[in-house]
Amino acid sequence: MKHSVIRKKFEEHLRSKNLKFTSQRDRIFELAFQTHQHFTADTLHAWLKKQDGAAVSRATVYRTLHLLEDGGFIESLDTGRGELVYEHVLGHAHHDHLVCMSCGKIEEFRSEEIERLQEQAAASRGFVITSHTLRLEGYCRGCARKQDLSAARQVS
pTM of the prediction?
0.78
Per-residue pLDDT of the chain (156 residues), as tens digits, is 788 999 999 999 999 999 999 999 999 999 999 988 899 999 999 999 999 888 899 999 999 999 999 999 999 998 877 889 999 887 677 889 999 988 888 998 999 999 999 999 999 999 999 888 888 989 999 999 888 745 544 444
| Strand-strand pairing, 96-100 and 106-109 | antiparallel
The closest of 100, 98, 81, 89 to 143, measured between CA atoms, is: 100
Distance (Å, whole) CA 1 – CA 9:
11
Q: Is residue 33 within 8 Å of 74, Cβ to Cβ?
A: no
Domains of the chain with bracketed CATH: 1-92 (1.10.10.10), 93-156 (3.30.1490.190)
